[in-house]
Chain A
Amino acid sequence: MKTIHIDALGKPCPLPVIETKKAIQKLPAEGGDIIVLVDNEVAIKNITKMANGNGYTVDSKTEGDGFAVTVTVTPQATAEKPKTGAVICFSRNVMGEGDDTLGKNLMKTYIYSLTEITTPPEQLFFYNGGAFLTNKDSDVLEDLKTLEAKGTQISTCGACLDFYEIKDQLAIGDITNMFTITEVMNQAEKTIIL
């Protein structure tokens, strides 16, 4: 494994990160280690953020008056596979079995949490009782709008909207069919069914 040493002592941020990124570009395909000497905690944090964001492992220890931060780059990490979000299916308007008031709150919290995670879901499907979550009186509508703004595709089952006679109340996303739902679930890297 190739190791590249960088002396970033006394260099203001973001120079330590820039020098680390530059060294990573110079690593061969099999990866390697970058050991960066820095003299402040902020530099460690910034290098760590960059490393985590790219899927590299990072480790730091004190060395002399400063710190040695080791960033390990492996071939999988350098391959940079685009991270795709999950496909999530909502089959009910509550989360879990048991008390429906609790279930409703859980669902609200879950959808809010989806707006906070780093990689937003790719696609949300709403069918059967889940079809009520996308209508105009739904209390998760605002969070769904946030997700939609982040690029999440939101689709509700047309047959379900017809069955419950709530098609005219649909307030977000598009109307989909079983073929699309099957196709997308089949191709998804990860499907979550609630």
Chain B
Amino acid sequence: MTEDFLSSCTSGGCGAKIAASDLSSYLRALPHSQDPSLLVGFSSGDDAAVYQTAEDQAVVSTLDFFSPMVEDPYVFGTIAAANALSDVYAMGGKAIMALNVTCFPERLPKEMLGQILAGGAAKVQEAGAALAGGHSIYDHEPKYGLAVTGLVDPRKLIHNDTPETGDTLILTKALGVGIILAADRAKVGDAAATQAAIASMQRLNKYATDKFPAYQIHACTDITGFGLLAHGLEMAGTDHTLVLDTEELPILPKALDFANDYLVTAGGQRNREQIGDKVALSNVPFGLQEILFDPQTSGGLLISVATEDAADLLAAIQVDDPVARIVGLVTDREENPITLL
């Protein structure tokens, strides 16, 4: 029965995300608001929309949903919610309210739907936000996610593309979620690895951002469907280069083994095509390249922090997220937006 839940889906999690380049020309054609209170809108590739309502207050608004990537409906609900909430945290905000977005097949038992919603509600509660309603329709594939509203002091808003030269980069969750789930769906997975991936996806990024106020955070983004490199490119922007040490990346157990066995995803391949020649990959072994392109569902935060604060911030984050690591640094723009060591 639960197998039907997952196998009824063509592609699950953030791996199903439509590439920005496939969307951008259509997005550009849409009318753009000139409202000066809209601090972050379409035109930026940031994690959530931000609208200023007072000198010291802005509303953060974001929406995320996808098809199941795990067998257990309750677990799927928790992952979808952790993922949807994450965009608010990546902007430096606090989640206050969430609405369910649900699609569910008429042929599947309604208890499954109940479990998805219960999982989502539990995560929203853990985040300290209020679940305030939602909308559900019948569809041939299950899909679930949330529209999340948060608050942020606009002066403390953290963009995803404003790192400073000399900053240190910290990554808070291990990579390889997409590859591990692909192996699991191909029935060649590893139970312990799948469990580790699920626990990672369920983890709220709130615990990391709770530590932000004491430190000079210059940029932050959450690593999701486009993988580490594409999210890194957004952070590098036009003026900086991110230097990432591939030997320092936190990687989930078994993910590299699976990658070396070519258990990779369509989403990873799309990400590879998106990056094209913007990053020199020739010195990076194949398996590691796949980790760099792997779509992460409910992935961790990539944080650009002033180097004088890096050790203290890392220690503070590691109290709750021991897997967090320093993975690189920020320089003035060099030949490429990302240099891999």
Contact = CB atoms under 8 A, between A and B. Distances in A.
A77 interface: no
B314 interface: yes
* Chain B interface mostly: mixed
B310 A18 contact: no
B307 A17 contact: no
A187 interface: no
B311 A18 contact: no
Nearest to B341: A21
Nearest to B244: A18
B289 interface: no
B168 to A, nearest CB: 6
Interface in A1-23: 10-15, 17-19, 21-22
Interface in B223-253: 243, 245, 248
Nearest to A53: B247
A25 B168 CA distance: 19
Interface string B318-341: 000000001011000000000101
Contacts of B168: 11-12, 15
Contacts of B248: 14, 18
A12 B245 contact: no
Given A15-B168, A15-B329, A21 B310 contact: no
B308 interface: yes
Contact of A22 (B311, B326, B341): B341
Contacts of A13: 326
Given A21-B341, A22-B243, A15 B326 contact: yes
A14 B171 CA distance: 13
- Contact size class for B? 10 to 19
Interface residues of A, number: 12
Given A12-B326, A25-B339, A25-B341, A18 B245 contact: yes
Contact of B310 (A15, A19, A22, A25): A15
A141 to B, nearest CB: 24
Nearest to A50: B247
A92 B61 CA distance: 73
A73 to B, nearest CB: 14
* Chain A interface mostly: helix
Given A19-B329, A21-B341, A25-B341, A11 B245 contact: no
A12 B328 CA distance: 11
Contacts of B326: 12-15, 18
A12 B341 contact: no
Nearest to B310: A12
A15 B307 CA distance: 9
Nearest to B331: A22
B307 A22 contact: no
Interface string B244-269: 01001000000000000000000000
A10 B314 CA distance: 15
B215 to A, nearest CB: 13
Interface of A: 10-15, 17-19, 21-22, 25
9 contacts: A12-B311, A13-B326, A18-B243, A18-B248, A18-B329, A21-B245, A21-B341, A22-B243, A22-B339
Interface of B: 168, 243, 245, 248, 307-308, 310-311, 314, 326, 328-329, 339, 341
Given A10-B308, A15-B310, 15 more contacts: A11-B307, A11-B310, A12-B168, A12-B310, A12-B314, A12-B326, A13-B326, A14-B248, A15-B307, A17-B245, A18-B245, A18-B328, A22-B243, A22-B341, A25-B339
